[in-house]
Amino acid sequence: MINLRDKGAEFWERSNRPVRVLTVFAIMAVVAALPYAGNTFLQTPVAAFDAVLVYPMGMFILMALGLNVVVGKSGMLDLGYVAFFAVGAYTMAILGTRTGLNTWEIMPIGIAAAMFAGVLLAIPTLRLRGDYLAIVTLGFGEIVRVSALNTEAIGGALGIAGVPFPPGLGFEYQLLDQKYFYWTILVMILLVIWVIRRLTVRRPGRAWESIRQDEDAAELMGVSTYKYKIWAFVFGAAIGGGAGVFYASRSMVIAPDNFTLNTSILILACVVFGGMGNIWGVIVGATILGYLPDRFRFLSDARLLLFGLVLVVFMNLRPEGILPRKKREKAIVKKGSGASL
Amino acid sequence: MSKTILNLKDLTIKFGGVTALNSVNLELKEGEILALIGPNGAGKTTVFNLITGVYKPTSGNVFLGDLAIDGKKRHHITKLGIARTFQNIRLFGDMTTLENVITGTDVRNKVGLIGSMFGTPRSRREEKASIAKAYEILKFIGIDEYADRLAKNLPYGVQRRLEIARALGTEPKILLLDEPAAGFNPQEKVDLAAIIKKIRDAGYTILLIEHDMSLIMGISDRVVVLDFGQKIADDLPSVVQNDPQVIAAYLGVPADAS
Ligand SMILES: Nc1ncnc2c1ncn2[C@@H]1O[C@H](COP(=O)(O)OP(=O)(O)OP(=O)(O)O)[C@@H](O)[C@H]1O
Ligand SMILES: [Mg+2]
């Protein structure tokens, strides 16, 4: 099968700066114009296309990017990622309905709360590996959900309603026309990509990569594996939390049912399907897995079954995902810098 | 006589009922190449594992200078200046040759996640210096032409040498080499011996596990022999070579039978 990832990377390397800038702008223009494509073949039958762009698609991409740092880059199987999304969402819902703070003011608080939850989970569990880690994180995700379910002060099973929209920034966020929500989440995604790319090509990225490939060897080469594993978790949690804040503020109502194990698994599927460890692959994976179920809703009940089937078949044909992780023989760094020696 | 930089005192380790090392004393002098030899299962790799903190001794201590390092975290020991290679190659296969070495150099870097994220001047300075240093090491070891290749795709001999390069990346005082010539043909062994000598001449102290006698005789200043977890000889190569106890250990007959 053709390797799209390498084709893309080769194109990128062959191009000079103006071509690159143009490419980026062209892609951005197309992506940004998507809310206007609602009346085309892209239209989703039940939910409005612009709403689908925000959730699940945009949210999935954001969360998949965050989870990819933990699973794809660092090799830790986290089955409870939705917990951080929930912490962010509940922070937004509680503060948004009970204080005068608005979404943008709550955002850093929600992210901090999710990061704190990340530390809480990471410190006792990161000594575990593989399956054990997966099971404990799965438990953590469920604990968060069940706690919300059983805490009447935050609405119990009914959750919290009346979460305010974000205040407009020269425009108004609207329920029936969600393009502003979409553009906001686009900005969030770009920001996250930018940060992840920086981290990946620098020391933290190398530490994560080495941990994924051989944790003991990494430790013996001086990588503080424990510290970097915590960082991976906390960083992933921050993104999940940020997505959660925005999700609550857009959805107006949140309930424990929004944060089930299913979501964790779906996000994980996006990561694996798209290509573990490769942010572009993850984005493609989340886009497809976020979109298709809404597009083909007429399949109704068989939807998830069919969906699972496609995944199984696909993963057999292409186990490394759509855009696999780096395969090319090329360092992440510029060669020139060492030449003077 | 130069000073002792690594000192193993009465080192004993037991795995269940097996005593892998029994009260081993060993001094590593600054700037020497000390060979650690012995039959299979003698406990050589276990010595490395104790020095690098993979195992904690059942009793006894490991001193780096005056500092007892047994019980310290593994990455901390690396930072204190001890680096190793692995008998079974354990490179980061999905990284390039250069990235493997840069990962080693990171132990000397100070920048953390936040600094990397914001691209602080220090982060950029350190990244640049690490890349330059890694290239320098690859050239020094003679594998710079493979810089951009993924480690898992490298020829076997290059992988072995990359193990050494990655360890050098951590800027150790002491380099522990676990059978670096395993699987090499005679010519490759000669080349490797030259590299090891070159490393020593560059100011490193080397503890070398090796089975090939001619290689050992050619480059080591001193030889320590382990047999069944006991030190049975510790002397100049020429002396050890003719030690009846050592010969017996290798031939598998009791010393007094010879
Ligand atoms: N983690 C462990 N658990 C149990 N036994 C161990 C462990 N590590 C080492 N041993 C035992 O300690 C003894 C020494 O092993 P070691 O690997 O140090 O030998 P070696 O001298 O390096 O041999 P070789 O030349 O084959 O590499 C062996 O009997 C081995 O089975
Ligand atoms: Mg061994």
Q: Which residues in chain A touch residue B78, judged by CB atoms under 8 angstroms apart?
A: 220-222
pLDDT, average across residues B133-141: 96
Q: Give pairs for A292-300: CB < 8 Å, separation 24+.
A: A293/A56, A294/A44, A294/A46, A294/A47, A294/A52, A294/A56, A295/A42, A295/A44, A295/A45, A297/A44, A297/A45, A297/A46, A298/A45
List the single residue in B with minimal CA-CA distance to A193: B117
Eight-class DSSP state of A201: T
Amino acid identity at B36: L
The overall average pLDDT reported for chain B is: 94
With a cut of 50, which residues of chain A have pLDDT below it?
331-341
Pocket flag, ligand 1, residue B18 (CB < 6 Å): yes
Ligand at minimal distance from the CA of B54 is: 1
Plot region of B81 (φ>0 → left; ψ -120 to 50 → alpha; else → beta): left
- Report which of A62, A164, A59, A167 is spatially closest to residue A104, judged by C-alpha positions: A167
Mutation test residue for ligand 1: of B14, B15, B47, B216, the one with most atoms within 8 Å of CB: B15
Residue A5 lies in a domain: no
The alpha carbon of residue A337 is apart from the nearest alpha carbon of chain B, in Å, by: 6
pLDDT at A42: 80
Question: A295 in contact with B at a CB cutoff of 8 Å?
Answer: no
Segment B83-102, tens digit of pLDDT = 999 999 999 999 999 999 99
Residue A168 lies in a domain: yes
Number of Cβ within 10 Å of residue A20's Cβ equals 13
Plot region of A130 (φ>0 → left; ψ -120 to 50 → alpha; else → beta): left
Indicate which residue's Cα is closest to atom 5 of ligand 1. Answer: B15
CA distance A271 to A75: 12
- Report which of B101, B106, B99 is spatially closest to residue B123, judged by C-alpha positions: B106
Residue A334 lies in a domain: no
Residues 6+ apart with CB under 8 A from A335: B147, B148
| H/E run at residue A71 | none
Cβ pair B180, B196 in contact under 8 A: yes
Segment A125-173, tens digit of pLDDT = 888 877 888 899 999 999 999 999 999 999 999 999 999 999 988 888 8
Q: Which residues in chain B touch residue A335, judged by CB atoms under 8 angstroms apart?
A: 147-148
Tokens 């925000």 label which residue? Answer: A54
Alpha carbon B73 to its chain's center = 17
Q: What is the ipTM of this complex?
A: 0.94
The alpha carbon of residue B113 is apart from the nearest alpha carbon of chain A, in Å, by: 6
Residues 6+ apart with CB under 8 A from A140: A80, A83, A121, A125
Indicate which residue's Cα is closest to atom 10 of ligand 1. Answer: B20
Cβ pair A261, B117 in contact under 8 A: no
Residue A136 lies in a domain: yes
Q: Check residues A309 and B120 and name the one with the higher pLDDT.
A: B120
Report the residue from B73, B96, B106 with minimal CB separation from A203. Answer: B106
Amino acid identity at A6: D
Given an 8 Å threshold on Cβ–Cβ distance, is B99 in contact with A203?
Answer: no
Tokens 């690490």 label which residue? Answer: B130
pLDDT, average across residues B238-247: 90
The confidence band for B253, taking pLDDT boundaries of 50, 70 and 90, is low
Report the residue from A214, A224, A331 with minimal CB separation from B75. Answer: A224
Number of Cβ within 10 Å of residue B88's Cβ equals 8
Give the SS3 label for residue B167. Answer: helix
What percentage of chain A has pLDDT greater than the value 90?
Answer: 52
Cβ pair B206, B223 in contact under 8 A: no
Number of Cβ within 10 Å of residue A298's Cβ equals 9
Report pTM.
0.91
Give the β-pairing of B59-64 and B4-15: antiparallel
Range of the domain at A219: 47-260
Lowest mean pLDDT among A297-301, B66-70, B211-215: A297-301
Pocket flag, ligand 1, residue B15 (CB < 6 Å): yes
pLDDT at B102: 97
Residue A229 lies in a domain: yes
- Report which of A214, A217, A220, A226 is spatially closest to residue B74, judged by C-alpha positions: A220
| H/E run at residue B23 | strand B18-29
Q: Check residues A100 and B200 and name the one with the higher pLDDT.
A: B200
Which residue blocks in A99-157 are alpha helix, DSSP H?
103-125, 130-150
Residue A85 lies in a domain: yes
List the single residue in A with minimal CA-CA distance to B164: A221
Residues 6+ apart with CB under 8 A from A3: A324, A327
Sign of the CA dihedral with A262 first, then A257, A76, and A106 last = positive
Helix-helix angle A279-295:A303-317, to 10 degrees: 150
Give the SS3 label for residue B206. Answer: strand
Amino acid identity at A276: M
Alpha carbon A90 to its chain's center = 18
Alpha carbon B144 to its chain's center = 21
Residue A318 lies in a domain: no
Cβ pair A55, A280 in contact under 8 A: no
Pocket flag, ligand 1, residue B40 (CB < 6 Å): yes
Given an 8 Å threshold on Cβ–Cβ distance, is A213 in contact with B104?
Answer: no
Residue A31 lies in a domain: no
Give the SS3 label for residue B118. Answer: helix
Lowest mean pLDDT among A293-302, B32-41, B164-173: A293-302
Query: Could you give the number of structural domains in chain A?
Result: 1
In whole angstroms, how far apart are CA A154 and each of A80, A95, A104, A144, A148? 21, 11, 21, 13, 7
The alpha carbon of residue B92 is apart from the nearest alpha carbon of chain A, in Å, by: 6
List the single residue in B with minimal CA-CA distance to A338: B132
